[in-house]
Structure 1
Amino acid sequence: MTAQTALAASVSGGEAVTFWILAPLALLGAFGMVLARNAVHSALWLVLTMLCLGIFYVLQAGPFIGMTQIIVYTGAIMMLFLFVLMLVGRESSDSLIEVLRGQRVAAIGLGLGFALLLGSGVYRATEGGTPVGLEEANAGGNVQAIARLLYTDYVFAFELTAALLITATIGGMLLAHLERRKEDRRDQVATMKSRFAPGNYPGPKPGPGVFATSSSVATPARLPDGRLSDRSTPDILPVRELTAEETTLKGTEK
Protein backbone atom coordinates (compact mmCIF):
# COMPACT_ATOMS: atom_id res chain seq x y z
CA MET A 1 0.00 0.00 0.00
CA THR A 2 1.44 3.36 -1.01
CA ALA A 3 1.65 6.40 1.20
CA GLN A 4 -1.19 8.15 -0.63
CA THR A 5 -3.39 5.06 -0.35
CA ALA A 6 -2.73 4.82 3.37
CA LEU A 7 -3.46 8.52 3.70
CA ALA A 8 -6.78 8.09 1.90
CA ALA A 9 -7.76 5.10 4.05
CA SER A 10 -7.11 6.83 7.38
CA VAL A 11 -8.43 10.01 8.98
CA SER A 12 -5.87 12.09 10.83
CA GLY A 13 -6.59 14.58 13.55
CA GLY A 14 -5.93 17.58 11.31
CA GLU A 15 -8.24 16.19 8.62
CA ALA A 16 -11.02 15.67 11.16
CA VAL A 17 -10.63 19.21 12.51
CA THR A 18 -10.64 20.63 9.00
CA PHE A 19 -13.75 18.65 8.14
CA TRP A 20 -15.71 19.86 11.17
CA ILE A 21 -14.72 23.45 10.39
CA LEU A 22 -15.45 23.42 6.64
CA ALA A 23 -18.47 21.08 6.62
CA PRO A 24 -20.78 23.66 8.29
CA LEU A 25 -19.45 26.31 5.90
CA ALA A 26 -20.21 24.07 2.92
CA LEU A 27 -23.74 23.45 4.18
CA LEU A 28 -24.18 27.16 4.90
CA GLY A 29 -23.12 27.99 1.35
CA ALA A 30 -25.50 25.37 -0.07
CA PHE A 31 -28.47 26.70 1.89
CA GLY A 32 -27.49 30.29 1.10
CA MET A 33 -27.33 29.47 -2.61
CA VAL A 34 -30.90 28.11 -2.52
CA LEU A 35 -32.42 30.72 -0.20
CA ALA A 36 -30.72 33.88 -1.53
CA ARG A 37 -33.08 36.07 -3.54
CA ASN A 38 -30.30 37.89 -5.37
CA ALA A 39 -28.73 35.85 -8.17
CA VAL A 40 -25.26 37.32 -7.53
CA HIS A 41 -25.44 36.47 -3.83
CA SER A 42 -26.60 32.96 -4.73
CA ALA A 43 -23.55 32.48 -6.99
CA LEU A 44 -21.22 33.72 -4.25
CA TRP A 45 -22.69 31.24 -1.77
CA LEU A 46 -22.09 28.48 -4.31
CA VAL A 47 -18.47 29.61 -4.63
CA LEU A 48 -18.06 29.08 -0.88
CA THR A 49 -19.40 25.53 -1.13
CA MET A 50 -17.15 24.71 -4.10
CA LEU A 51 -14.06 25.97 -2.29
CA CYS A 52 -14.86 23.75 0.69
CA LEU A 53 -15.37 20.74 -1.59
CA GLY A 54 -12.03 21.38 -3.27
CA ILE A 55 -10.27 21.34 0.10
CA PHE A 56 -12.07 18.11 1.00
CA TYR A 57 -10.77 16.47 -2.19
CA VAL A 58 -7.21 17.52 -1.38
CA LEU A 59 -7.52 16.10 2.14
CA GLN A 60 -8.71 12.79 0.67
CA ALA A 61 -5.41 12.41 -1.24
CA GLY A 62 -6.90 13.73 -4.48
CA PRO A 63 -4.90 16.87 -5.29
CA PHE A 64 -5.76 16.77 -9.00
CA ILE A 65 -9.53 16.76 -8.58
CA GLY A 66 -9.24 19.24 -5.70
CA MET A 67 -7.27 21.76 -7.76
CA THR A 68 -9.62 21.18 -10.69
CA GLN A 69 -12.57 21.93 -8.43
CA ILE A 70 -11.01 25.17 -7.21
CA ILE A 71 -9.35 26.42 -10.42
CA VAL A 72 -11.84 25.31 -13.09
CA TYR A 73 -15.24 25.24 -11.42
CA THR A 74 -14.76 27.94 -8.79
CA GLY A 75 -12.21 30.16 -10.49
CA ALA A 76 -13.43 29.95 -14.09
CA ILE A 77 -17.01 28.76 -14.44
CA MET A 78 -18.47 30.52 -11.41
CA MET A 79 -16.62 33.74 -12.21
CA LEU A 80 -18.10 33.52 -15.70
CA PHE A 81 -21.56 33.14 -14.17
CA LEU A 82 -20.96 36.17 -11.97
CA PHE A 83 -19.74 38.20 -14.95
CA VAL A 84 -22.85 37.33 -16.96
CA LEU A 85 -25.18 38.04 -14.03
CA MET A 86 -23.61 41.43 -13.34
CA LEU A 87 -23.55 42.29 -17.06
CA VAL A 88 -27.16 41.34 -17.72
CA GLY A 89 -28.52 42.38 -14.34
CA ARG A 90 -31.17 40.55 -12.36
CA GLU A 91 -33.56 42.05 -9.84
CA SER A 92 -34.79 40.15 -6.84
CA SER A 93 -38.38 40.81 -7.91
CA ASP A 94 -37.84 38.83 -11.13
CA SER A 95 -37.06 35.63 -9.24
CA LEU A 96 -40.34 35.85 -7.27
CA ILE A 97 -42.51 35.51 -10.39
CA GLU A 98 -43.76 31.96 -10.79
CA VAL A 99 -44.47 30.91 -14.35
CA LEU A 100 -46.30 27.80 -13.13
CA ARG A 101 -48.35 27.90 -9.96
CA GLY A 102 -46.90 25.71 -7.25
CA GLN A 103 -43.57 25.15 -8.96
CA ARG A 104 -41.60 26.14 -5.86
CA VAL A 105 -43.36 23.56 -3.68
CA ALA A 106 -42.94 20.92 -6.38
CA ALA A 107 -39.25 21.79 -6.80
CA ILE A 108 -38.62 21.53 -3.04
CA GLY A 109 -40.42 18.17 -2.83
CA LEU A 110 -38.60 16.72 -5.83
CA GLY A 111 -35.26 18.02 -4.55
CA LEU A 112 -35.71 16.44 -1.14
CA GLY A 113 -36.86 13.17 -2.71
CA PHE A 114 -33.88 13.06 -5.05
CA ALA A 115 -31.48 13.85 -2.19
CA LEU A 116 -32.97 11.05 -0.09
CA LEU A 117 -32.78 8.59 -3.00
CA LEU A 118 -29.19 9.54 -3.83
CA GLY A 119 -28.09 9.41 -0.20
CA SER A 120 -29.63 5.98 0.36
CA GLY A 121 -28.03 4.68 -2.85
CA VAL A 122 -24.57 5.90 -1.86
CA TYR A 123 -24.98 4.47 1.65
CA ARG A 124 -25.99 1.02 0.39
CA ALA A 125 -23.18 1.01 -2.19
CA THR A 126 -20.47 1.90 0.31
CA GLU A 127 -21.73 0.06 3.39
CA GLY A 128 -19.23 -2.55 4.53
CA GLY A 129 -17.06 -2.17 1.45
CA THR A 130 -13.34 -1.56 1.21
CA PRO A 131 -11.75 0.65 -1.44
CA VAL A 132 -9.86 -1.27 -4.12
CA GLY A 133 -7.71 -0.14 -6.99
CA LEU A 134 -6.24 2.83 -5.15
CA GLU A 135 -2.72 1.50 -5.62
CA GLU A 136 -3.07 1.48 -9.41
CA ALA A 137 -4.86 4.82 -9.49
CA ASN A 138 -2.11 6.50 -7.45
CA ALA A 139 0.91 4.67 -8.83
CA GLY A 140 3.74 7.14 -9.29
CA GLY A 141 1.63 9.99 -7.94
CA ASN A 142 -2.01 10.98 -8.17
CA VAL A 143 -1.65 13.42 -11.06
CA GLN A 144 0.70 11.17 -13.04
CA ALA A 145 -1.56 8.14 -12.62
CA ILE A 146 -4.67 10.06 -13.69
CA ALA A 147 -2.85 11.40 -16.77
CA ARG A 148 -1.66 7.89 -17.68
CA LEU A 149 -5.15 6.38 -17.39
CA LEU A 150 -6.81 9.35 -19.07
CA TYR A 151 -4.63 9.23 -22.19
CA THR A 152 -4.40 5.44 -22.50
CA ASP A 153 -7.45 3.50 -21.33
CA TYR A 154 -9.94 6.38 -21.52
CA VAL A 155 -8.51 8.38 -24.42
CA PHE A 156 -11.57 7.72 -26.63
CA ALA A 157 -13.97 8.95 -23.93
CA PHE A 158 -11.73 11.97 -23.35
CA GLU A 159 -11.68 12.90 -27.04
CA LEU A 160 -15.43 12.33 -27.34
CA THR A 161 -16.07 14.61 -24.37
CA ALA A 162 -13.85 17.29 -25.89
CA ALA A 163 -15.74 17.03 -29.19
CA LEU A 164 -19.08 17.35 -27.39
CA LEU A 165 -17.89 20.45 -25.50
CA ILE A 166 -16.64 22.08 -28.70
CA THR A 167 -19.92 21.27 -30.45
CA ALA A 168 -21.91 22.74 -27.56
CA THR A 169 -19.76 25.89 -27.62
CA ILE A 170 -20.24 26.38 -31.36
CA GLY A 171 -23.97 25.70 -31.03
CA GLY A 172 -24.28 28.30 -28.26
CA MET A 173 -22.45 30.85 -30.40
CA LEU A 174 -24.75 30.19 -33.35
CA LEU A 175 -27.88 30.45 -31.22
CA ALA A 176 -26.76 33.67 -29.55
CA HIS A 177 -25.47 35.29 -32.76
CA LEU A 178 -27.89 37.74 -34.36
CA GLU A 179 -27.29 38.24 -38.05
CA ARG A 180 -28.89 41.34 -39.52
CA ARG A 181 -29.57 41.84 -43.16
CA LYS A 182 -27.62 44.50 -44.97
CA GLU A 183 -30.74 46.56 -45.64
CA ASP A 184 -31.67 46.44 -41.93
CA ARG A 185 -28.35 47.88 -40.78
CA ARG A 186 -28.42 51.61 -40.08
CA ASP A 187 -25.46 53.92 -40.20
CA GLN A 188 -24.90 56.92 -37.94
CA VAL A 189 -26.81 59.30 -40.20
CA ALA A 190 -29.89 57.08 -40.32
CA THR A 191 -29.74 56.58 -36.55
CA MET A 192 -29.58 60.37 -36.00
CA LYS A 193 -32.52 61.00 -38.32
CA SER A 194 -34.67 58.38 -36.61
CA ARG A 195 -33.78 59.81 -33.22
CA PHE A 196 -34.89 63.31 -34.20
CA ALA A 197 -37.98 62.14 -36.04
CA PRO A 198 -41.33 63.61 -34.88
CA GLY A 199 -42.57 61.89 -31.77
CA ASN A 200 -39.15 60.78 -30.50
CA TYR A 201 -37.28 62.14 -27.48
CA PRO A 202 -33.81 63.30 -28.58
CA GLY A 203 -32.78 64.97 -25.32
CA PRO A 204 -31.14 63.20 -22.40
CA LYS A 205 -33.18 62.11 -19.45
CA PRO A 206 -32.95 64.00 -16.13
CA GLY A 207 -30.01 63.09 -13.94
CA PRO A 208 -30.18 61.73 -10.38
CA GLY A 209 -31.84 64.09 -7.92
CA VAL A 210 -33.79 65.94 -10.61
CA PHE A 211 -37.54 65.48 -11.03
CA ALA A 212 -38.86 65.92 -14.56
CA THR A 213 -42.23 67.68 -14.81
CA SER A 214 -42.72 66.86 -18.47
CA SER A 215 -41.37 64.71 -21.28
CA SER A 216 -40.51 67.82 -23.32
CA VAL A 217 -36.88 68.93 -23.54
CA ALA A 218 -38.05 72.54 -23.33
CA THR A 219 -39.64 72.05 -19.91
CA PRO A 220 -37.43 72.99 -16.95
CA ALA A 221 -36.72 70.17 -14.52
CA ARG A 222 -37.55 70.41 -10.83
CA LEU A 223 -34.84 70.21 -8.17
CA PRO A 224 -35.33 68.24 -4.93
CA ASP A 225 -36.29 71.41 -3.04
CA GLY A 226 -39.03 72.25 -5.57
CA ARG A 227 -37.21 74.95 -7.52
CA LEU A 228 -37.06 74.85 -11.30
CA SER A 229 -33.62 74.30 -12.76
CA ASP A 230 -32.74 76.78 -15.51
CA ARG A 231 -29.71 74.70 -16.50
CA SER A 232 -31.94 71.77 -17.47
CA THR A 233 -33.11 73.44 -20.68
CA PRO A 234 -30.67 74.24 -23.53
CA ASP A 235 -30.53 77.90 -24.54
CA ILE A 236 -31.06 77.00 -28.19
CA LEU A 237 -34.52 75.54 -27.51
CA PRO A 238 -37.60 77.77 -27.18
CA VAL A 239 -38.85 77.99 -23.63
CA ARG A 240 -42.29 76.49 -23.16
CA GLU A 241 -44.94 78.59 -21.46
CA LEU A 242 -45.17 77.70 -17.79
CA THR A 243 -48.35 76.42 -16.23
CA ALA A 244 -50.12 78.29 -13.47
CA GLU A 245 -48.49 76.15 -10.79
CA GLU A 246 -45.03 76.67 -12.25
CA THR A 247 -45.65 80.44 -12.55
CA THR A 248 -46.65 80.54 -8.87
CA LEU A 249 -43.50 78.65 -7.92
CA LYS A 250 -41.40 81.05 -9.99
CA GLY A 251 -42.98 84.04 -8.27
CA THR A 252 -42.37 82.48 -4.85
CA GLU A 253 -38.71 81.89 -5.68
CA LYS A 254 -38.23 85.50 -6.75
Structure 2
Amino acid sequence: MTFWILAPIMVAAALGILFVRKAVHAALLLAVVMISLAILYAVLEAPFLFAVQIIVYTGAILMLFLFVLMLVGVDSSDSVVETIKGQRALATIFGLILGAVLVTGLSQVTLGTAVGLEEANTGGNIEQLANILFSRYVFAFEATSALLITAAIGAMVLAHRERLTPKQTQASLAAQRMRDYAEHGLHLGPLPAPGVYARHNAVDTPALLPDGTASPSSVSRVLVARGVIRSGPAFADHIDEVQRQLGQHPATQDAPVEEDNT
Protein backbone atom coordinates (compact mmCIF):
# COMPACT_ATOMS: atom_id res chain seq x y z
CA MET A 1 0.00 0.00 0.00
CA THR A 2 2.84 2.41 0.87
CA PHE A 3 4.51 1.79 -2.49
CA TRP A 4 1.35 2.47 -4.49
CA ILE A 5 0.86 5.73 -2.61
CA LEU A 6 4.43 7.00 -2.85
CA ALA A 7 5.27 5.75 -6.35
CA PRO A 8 3.00 8.22 -8.22
CA ILE A 9 4.24 11.04 -6.01
CA MET A 10 7.87 10.17 -6.74
CA VAL A 11 7.26 9.90 -10.50
CA ALA A 12 5.41 13.24 -10.58
CA ALA A 13 8.16 14.95 -8.55
CA ALA A 14 10.88 13.44 -10.76
CA LEU A 15 9.13 14.71 -13.89
CA GLY A 16 8.75 18.10 -12.23
CA ILE A 17 12.53 18.26 -11.73
CA LEU A 18 12.97 18.01 -15.50
CA PHE A 19 10.38 20.61 -16.46
CA VAL A 20 10.50 23.33 -13.78
CA ARG A 21 12.40 26.47 -14.72
CA LYS A 22 13.82 27.47 -11.33
CA ALA A 23 16.61 25.53 -9.65
CA VAL A 24 15.13 26.08 -6.18
CA HIS A 25 11.87 24.39 -7.19
CA ALA A 26 13.85 21.50 -8.70
CA ALA A 27 15.74 21.06 -5.41
CA LEU A 28 12.47 20.99 -3.44
CA LEU A 29 11.01 18.36 -5.77
CA LEU A 30 14.18 16.30 -5.40
CA ALA A 31 13.71 16.45 -1.63
CA VAL A 32 10.23 14.95 -2.11
CA VAL A 33 11.73 12.08 -4.11
CA MET A 34 14.44 11.42 -1.51
CA ILE A 35 12.09 11.48 1.46
CA SER A 36 9.67 9.12 -0.30
CA LEU A 37 12.56 6.78 -1.10
CA ALA A 38 13.61 6.81 2.54
CA ILE A 39 10.10 5.80 3.59
CA LEU A 40 10.22 2.88 1.15
CA TYR A 41 13.53 1.80 2.72
CA ALA A 42 11.91 1.82 6.14
CA VAL A 43 8.99 -0.29 4.88
CA LEU A 44 11.45 -2.82 3.40
CA GLU A 45 13.12 -3.17 6.84
CA ALA A 46 16.35 -1.47 5.81
CA PRO A 47 17.04 0.89 8.73
CA PHE A 48 20.60 1.72 7.66
CA LEU A 49 19.56 2.91 4.20
CA PHE A 50 16.62 4.79 5.74
CA ALA A 51 18.92 6.67 8.12
CA VAL A 52 21.52 7.42 5.44
CA GLN A 53 18.88 8.65 3.02
CA ILE A 54 17.38 11.04 5.57
CA ILE A 55 20.49 12.24 7.41
CA VAL A 56 23.11 12.34 4.65
CA TYR A 57 21.35 12.84 1.33
CA THR A 58 18.22 14.76 2.32
CA GLY A 59 19.30 16.45 5.53
CA ALA A 60 22.88 17.39 4.62
CA ILE A 61 23.70 17.37 0.92
CA LEU A 62 20.37 18.41 -0.58
CA MET A 63 19.63 21.06 2.05
CA LEU A 64 23.13 22.48 1.51
CA PHE A 65 22.41 22.79 -2.22
CA LEU A 66 19.04 24.37 -1.48
CA PHE A 67 20.49 26.97 0.90
CA VAL A 68 23.24 27.87 -1.58
CA LEU A 69 20.69 28.31 -4.36
CA MET A 70 18.47 30.50 -2.16
CA LEU A 71 21.35 32.67 -0.94
CA VAL A 72 23.31 33.05 -4.17
CA GLY A 73 20.48 32.84 -6.69
CA VAL A 74 20.62 31.19 -10.10
CA ASP A 75 19.33 32.67 -13.32
CA SER A 76 16.83 30.47 -15.17
CA SER A 77 18.44 31.22 -18.51
CA ASP A 78 21.26 28.80 -19.32
CA SER A 79 24.39 29.91 -21.14
CA VAL A 80 25.09 28.03 -24.37
CA VAL A 81 28.55 29.53 -24.87
CA GLU A 82 31.32 26.94 -24.72
CA THR A 83 34.14 28.03 -22.45
CA ILE A 84 36.27 24.95 -23.21
CA LYS A 85 37.05 23.91 -26.78
CA GLY A 86 35.65 20.53 -27.79
CA GLN A 87 33.35 20.36 -24.78
CA ARG A 88 30.30 19.16 -26.74
CA ALA A 89 32.27 16.54 -28.69
CA LEU A 90 33.74 15.06 -25.52
CA ALA A 91 30.33 15.10 -23.83
CA THR A 92 28.81 13.25 -26.79
CA ILE A 93 31.54 10.60 -26.80
CA PHE A 94 31.40 9.94 -23.06
CA GLY A 95 27.59 9.94 -23.19
CA LEU A 96 27.63 7.21 -25.83
CA ILE A 97 30.14 5.20 -23.79
CA LEU A 98 27.97 5.53 -20.68
CA GLY A 99 24.90 4.43 -22.66
CA ALA A 100 26.75 1.39 -24.00
CA VAL A 101 27.87 0.42 -20.51
CA LEU A 102 24.33 0.74 -19.15
CA VAL A 103 22.87 -1.33 -21.99
CA THR A 104 25.52 -4.02 -21.49
CA GLY A 105 24.97 -4.12 -17.75
CA LEU A 106 21.18 -4.31 -18.01
CA SER A 107 21.37 -7.07 -20.64
CA GLN A 108 23.34 -9.28 -18.24
CA VAL A 109 21.02 -8.85 -15.27
CA THR A 110 19.58 -12.08 -13.92
CA LEU A 111 16.73 -12.10 -11.43
CA GLY A 112 17.02 -14.84 -8.85
CA THR A 113 14.41 -16.28 -6.59
CA ALA A 114 13.36 -13.98 -3.78
CA VAL A 115 14.49 -15.28 -0.40
CA GLY A 116 12.49 -12.88 1.77
CA LEU A 117 13.54 -10.10 4.09
CA GLU A 118 14.10 -12.30 7.14
CA GLU A 119 16.69 -14.46 5.41
CA ALA A 120 18.33 -11.47 3.72
CA ASN A 121 18.70 -9.68 7.08
CA THR A 122 20.01 -12.71 8.96
CA GLY A 123 22.69 -11.53 11.39
CA GLY A 124 21.61 -7.89 11.11
CA ASN A 125 20.67 -5.61 8.26
CA ILE A 126 23.84 -3.51 8.44
CA GLU A 127 26.17 -6.53 8.60
CA GLN A 128 24.53 -8.28 5.67
CA LEU A 129 24.49 -5.09 3.64
CA ALA A 130 28.22 -4.60 4.17
CA ASN A 131 28.89 -8.25 3.32
CA ILE A 132 27.05 -8.02 -0.01
CA LEU A 133 28.30 -4.54 -0.87
CA PHE A 134 32.00 -5.33 -0.46
CA SER A 135 31.93 -8.86 -1.89
CA ARG A 136 29.47 -9.52 -4.70
CA TYR A 137 28.87 -5.89 -5.70
CA VAL A 138 32.30 -4.40 -5.03
CA PHE A 139 32.76 -3.52 -8.72
CA ALA A 140 29.46 -1.66 -8.80
CA PHE A 141 30.45 0.13 -5.59
CA GLU A 142 33.73 1.31 -7.10
CA ALA A 143 31.99 2.27 -10.36
CA THR A 144 29.55 4.40 -8.38
CA SER A 145 32.41 6.19 -6.65
CA ALA A 146 34.00 6.86 -10.06
CA LEU A 147 30.66 8.19 -11.26
CA LEU A 148 30.48 10.61 -8.32
CA ILE A 149 33.99 11.85 -9.07
CA THR A 150 32.99 12.34 -12.70
CA ALA A 151 29.94 14.31 -11.58
CA ALA A 152 32.14 16.55 -9.42
CA ILE A 153 34.48 17.19 -12.36
CA GLY A 154 31.47 17.92 -14.57
CA ALA A 155 30.19 20.47 -12.04
CA MET A 156 33.57 22.24 -12.11
CA VAL A 157 33.53 22.24 -15.92
CA LEU A 158 30.04 23.73 -16.01
CA ALA A 159 31.02 26.40 -13.48
CA HIS A 160 34.16 27.32 -15.44
CA ARG A 161 34.11 30.82 -16.87
CA GLU A 162 36.73 32.43 -19.06
CA ARG A 163 37.90 35.89 -17.99
CA LEU A 164 36.94 38.25 -20.81
CA THR A 165 38.49 41.37 -19.31
CA PRO A 166 41.86 41.80 -17.61
CA LYS A 167 41.94 41.64 -13.84
CA GLN A 168 41.75 45.07 -12.25
CA THR A 169 44.73 46.17 -10.21
CA GLN A 170 44.90 48.71 -7.40
CA ALA A 171 46.14 51.37 -9.82
CA SER A 172 43.30 50.75 -12.28
CA LEU A 173 40.73 50.92 -9.49
CA ALA A 174 42.17 54.22 -8.27
CA ALA A 175 42.09 55.60 -11.82
CA GLN A 176 38.47 54.48 -12.21
CA ARG A 177 37.52 56.28 -8.98
CA MET A 178 39.15 59.45 -10.30
CA ARG A 179 37.21 59.18 -13.57
CA ASP A 180 33.96 58.64 -11.68
CA TYR A 181 34.67 61.73 -9.59
CA ALA A 182 35.49 63.84 -12.66
CA GLU A 183 32.51 62.66 -14.71
CA HIS A 184 29.79 62.01 -12.14
CA GLY A 185 31.03 63.70 -8.97
CA LEU A 186 31.14 60.45 -6.97
CA HIS A 187 32.99 60.34 -3.66
CA LEU A 188 36.66 59.40 -4.06
CA GLY A 189 37.18 57.49 -0.83
CA PRO A 190 35.17 54.76 0.84
CA LEU A 191 31.68 55.39 2.09
CA PRO A 192 31.53 57.15 5.47
CA ALA A 193 31.00 54.97 8.48
CA PRO A 194 27.83 55.23 10.61
CA GLY A 195 27.93 58.19 12.98
CA VAL A 196 28.01 58.28 16.76
CA TYR A 197 25.21 59.99 18.67
CA ALA A 198 25.83 59.91 22.43
CA ARG A 199 25.63 56.24 23.48
CA HIS A 200 24.41 54.97 20.10
CA ASN A 201 26.64 53.67 17.29
CA ALA A 202 24.88 51.46 14.73
CA VAL A 203 24.30 51.03 11.02
CA ASP A 204 20.96 52.84 11.25
CA THR A 205 22.61 56.04 12.52
CA PRO A 206 23.88 58.30 9.69
CA ALA A 207 27.29 59.93 9.88
CA LEU A 208 27.59 63.69 10.33
CA LEU A 209 29.14 65.91 7.71
CA PRO A 210 31.33 68.90 8.71
CA ASP A 211 28.32 71.23 8.54
CA GLY A 212 26.37 69.03 10.97
CA THR A 213 23.99 67.47 8.46
CA ALA A 214 23.54 63.71 8.07
CA SER A 215 25.34 61.94 5.22
CA PRO A 216 22.82 59.87 3.20
CA SER A 217 25.56 57.63 1.79
CA SER A 218 26.57 56.38 5.25
CA VAL A 219 23.44 54.28 5.73
CA SER A 220 21.96 51.45 3.70
CA ARG A 221 19.26 52.24 1.15
CA VAL A 222 17.26 49.31 2.52
CA LEU A 223 17.06 50.95 5.95
CA VAL A 224 16.07 54.24 4.31
CA ALA A 225 13.24 52.51 2.42
CA ARG A 226 12.04 50.89 5.64
CA GLY A 227 12.03 54.21 7.47
CA VAL A 228 14.13 53.03 10.41
CA ILE A 229 16.94 55.59 10.15
CA ARG A 230 17.70 57.36 13.44
CA SER A 231 18.14 61.13 13.56
CA GLY A 232 20.17 63.50 15.72
CA PRO A 233 17.26 65.45 17.28
CA ALA A 234 15.77 62.22 18.55
CA PHE A 235 18.86 61.76 20.76
CA ALA A 236 19.02 65.31 22.10
CA ASP A 237 17.56 64.32 25.47
CA HIS A 238 19.97 61.42 25.77
CA ILE A 239 22.93 63.71 25.06
CA ASP A 240 21.84 66.14 27.78
CA GLU A 241 21.41 63.28 30.24
CA VAL A 242 24.87 61.87 29.56
CA GLN A 243 26.44 65.33 29.86
CA ARG A 244 24.76 65.83 33.22
CA GLN A 245 26.04 62.46 34.45
CA LEU A 246 29.59 63.32 33.34
CA GLY A 247 29.40 66.86 34.74
CA GLN A 248 29.95 68.38 31.30
CA HIS A 249 26.53 70.03 30.89
CA PRO A 250 26.63 73.86 31.00
CA ALA A 251 24.04 73.92 33.80
CA THR A 252 26.10 71.63 36.01
CA GLN A 253 29.38 73.40 35.24
CA ASP A 254 28.03 76.78 36.37
CA ALA A 255 26.55 75.38 39.60
CA PRO A 256 28.78 75.62 42.72
CA VAL A 257 30.36 72.43 43.93
CA GLU A 258 29.47 71.55 47.54
CA GLU A 259 32.39 70.48 49.73
CA ASP A 260 32.11 67.28 51.67
CA ASN A 261 33.31 68.00 55.22
CA THR A 262 32.78 64.45 56.41
Quickly name the TM-score band, shorter chain normalised: 0.3 to 0.5
Higher RCO (CA 8 Å, separation ≥ 6 residues): 1
Q: Name the TM-score, length of structure 1 as normaliser.
A: 0.45
